[in-house]
Structure 1
Amino acid sequence: MNNLDKLLYDFLTEKTPKITEAWLNKRIAASGSIYSADTVMSIESMLRSQNTLTNKTVICALLDDKEVFHNHVEQWASIVAESRVNSDTPIFEVIHAINVAQDTFMEFVMEFIKDHNHHISKQDVTRWYATFNSAFHELNTKFSRRYYAITRERLSSQQVLIGELSTPIIPISNRVAILPLVGNIDTYRMKEIYESIPMKVVDAKVQYLYIDLSGIPAIDIFVAQQIIQVINLLSMLGITPALSGIRPEVAHTFAELQISGKDVQTFSTLKQALDSLSK
């Protein structure tokens, strides 16, 4: 780091609290946004801390050791992305806030340039602008990637949870259980059923599983095929599966696959299926 860079580094480090204060003062009232000027003190304190980290991270771009800067960027992206996902802040609001932070930061760089104008060349100014523009661009990129990754991870976890809740195994006795399928069944949900239900049934030591379809208005031929695959897998595991509550629309789909009651045990209603146990 040359002498001018060191002077700028020290100046910006000293001015960091004022840079953050100037950024906070640029906020406007915006209902529902964490960046609103009238937000609660706890959120303002968080924003103050995170913007301070933003400024310190960008200042590190002046260091000769670029590894320090990249490490700061990774830390910053993780902290800010996690925080914004938790607060359900839209990504466009965050990008705007970072852009305002960049404008504010550069105002202080300009202040330094004016104060030391007689020592600074055009090449220095151009280099600093390029360095800081690149640094903020790196922040935007890393944040966007981390925000996307966290969002995807949470959506995936929610889908698994929804899948588990939407395909419950309901025990009727020590050896009998019901799997009620309700709503629209697509290939993704059937994949979850195929992968999870057999293990649940085996763990519960179920011998008879009644798959009730009365809550399904219709299915396509691909889903029907997957239901048959589940039934075949259960049979291979020594479990006796049966279908109940098949609507006419669903029956037509099974008929297209040339599957009849001879291939799979069926009952018109779940009550009829349960009554058969006592016979």
Structure 2
Amino acid sequence: MELNKRMHAFLMERAEQLTEEWYDSLDKSDPTGVYASTDPAVIAQLKNQNFRFHQYLCNLLIEEEAVFYKQFDEWIFEVSRSKDHVNTPIHFIIREFMRVRSQYLGFVDEFTRENEDVSLERMNGWKEKFVKAFDDVILKFTEETYTYQTRMLAAQREMINELSSPVIMLKGGTALLPLVGDIDTQRAKFILENTLQQCSNLRVSHLLIDISGVIMIDTMVACQLFQLIDSLNLIGVKSTLSGIRPEIAQTAVQLGLNFGSIRTASTLEHAIKF
């Protein structure tokens, strides 16, 4: 334990040096991300995060693993959610973890050379502990980054879905639902739920559903569309489907989809007049 304390003190005395050497050797030619920033505030924040990384990591030598990893988790959670790291490609971040790991292995060698009472077994033990710690931190960091970015993408997708499927009031209880772009199963499900809620809130009596901007409709999406029309009918909302393009009509026939029970119009203009 005494050797571990000495090694810990040795590394902590060089923590600032570690940070400065790391930043000086940093590849600042990355096309994007935190490492390419020239903003003094971003650079100061980056150095501070790196310095605190060393403070946490060095405690591996003097603390129980459970305590060590709990404290490190706080650093991982904070940094993986910082705006500058979120906007940095993950392979750039992993590259820097690996470079810092090389720094640590080099300092272990230096400490061993300066202290004759450090055995080869002890030196290799330290190296194994640090390599394992770096592997664990890299894994947790990438997992946390993936989780955070997945949540962000889901929130953005929900917002896009909401903005891309608005129910627009026209007059006399008539409203328009213009659908544009690709409609996958998830978006079709959202459209169904969101449209029913909006029609109820806006007291719509007749909904014009225009699909002239839809690229393709498969069986699953068509089923969701039929379900939407049936559900609208159950809450007292009549519906008219407009803008069925020739290629979609041809696909519908090939798939055996039956639009015969649905009120249709060739264009939105005709639907509005009707």
Report if TM-score (shorter chain) is over 0.5. Answer: yes
- Corresponding residue for residue 38 of structure 2: 39
Q: For 2:141 and 2:244, how far apart are their aligned partners in 1?
A: 49
Count matched residues.
271
Q: Over residues 214-246 of structure 1, what are the superposed CA-to-partner deviations in whole Å (9 max), with x where a residue is unaligned?
A: 223442233222211111111112211221222
Q: For 1:253 and 1:191, how far apart are their aligned partners in 2?
A: 21
What SS is found at the alignment partner of 1:182?
A: strand
- Corresponding residue for residue 230 of structure 1: 228
Q: For 1:105 and 1:24, how far apart are their aligned partners in 2?
A: 15
Q: For 1:85 and 1:160, how far apart are their aligned partners in 2?
A: 24
Q: Over residues 170-216 of structure 1, what are the superposed CA-to-partner deviations in whole Å (9 max), with x where a residue is unaligned?
A: 11136221001122333232122123221122122212111012223
Q: TM-score if structure 1 supplies the norm length?
A: 0.89
Which residue, 127, 131, 134 being the options, matches 1:133? Answer: 131
- Corresponding residue for residue 50 of structure 1: 49
The Cα of 1:132 is off from its aligned counterpart by 0.9
- Corresponding residue for residue 20 of structure 1: 19
What amino acid does structure 2 have at the position aligned with 1:75? E
The Cα of 1:272 is off from its aligned counterpart by 2.4
Q: For 1:173 and 1:63, how far apart are their aligned partners in 2?
A: 73
The Cα of 1:59 is off from its aligned counterpart by 0.9
Decide whether the 8 Å contact of 2:161 with 2:190 is kept in 1.
yes
Q: CA RMSD in A?
A: 2.0
Decide whether the 8 Å contact of 2:243 with 2:265 is kept in 1.
yes
Q: For 2:271 and 2:84, how far apart are their aligned partners in 1?
A: 47
The Cα of 1:268 is off from its aligned counterpart by 2.3
Q: For 2:63 and 2:216, how far apart are their aligned partners in 1?
A: 65
What amino acid does structure 1 have at the position aligned with 2:95? H
Does 2:154 correspond to 1:156? yes
Decide whether the 8 Å contact of 2:209 with 2:241 is kept in 1.
yes
Q: Over residues 76-129 of structure 1, what are the superposed CA-to-partner deviations in whole Å (9 max), with x where a residue is unaligned?
A: 21122112665521111001111111111222232222222x221222112111
Does 2:118 correspond to 1:120? yes
Does 2:249 correspond to 1:251? yes
Decide whether the 8 Å contact of 1:22 with 1:104 is kept in 2.
no
- Corresponding residue for residue 65 of structure 2: 66
Q: Identity, % of aligned pairs?
A: 32
Q: Over residues 11-43 of structure 1, what are the superposed CA-to-partner deviations in whole Å (9 max), with x where a residue is unaligned?
A: 22222111111111211330434324x733222
Structure 2 residue runs without a partner (length 5+) = none
Decide whether the 8 Å contact of 1:217 with 1:247 is kept in 2.
no
Decide whether the 8 Å contact of 2:8 with 2:58 is kept in 1.
yes
Structure 1 residue runs without a partner (length 5+) = none
Q: Which moved more, 1:211-220 or 1:162-171?
A: 211-220
Q: For 1:120 and 1:191, how far apart are their aligned partners in 2?
A: 65
Does 2:176 correspond to 1:178? yes
- Corresponding residue for residue 199 of structure 1: 197
- Corresponding residue for residue 89 of structure 1: 88
What amino acid does structure 1 have at the position aligned with 2:128? A
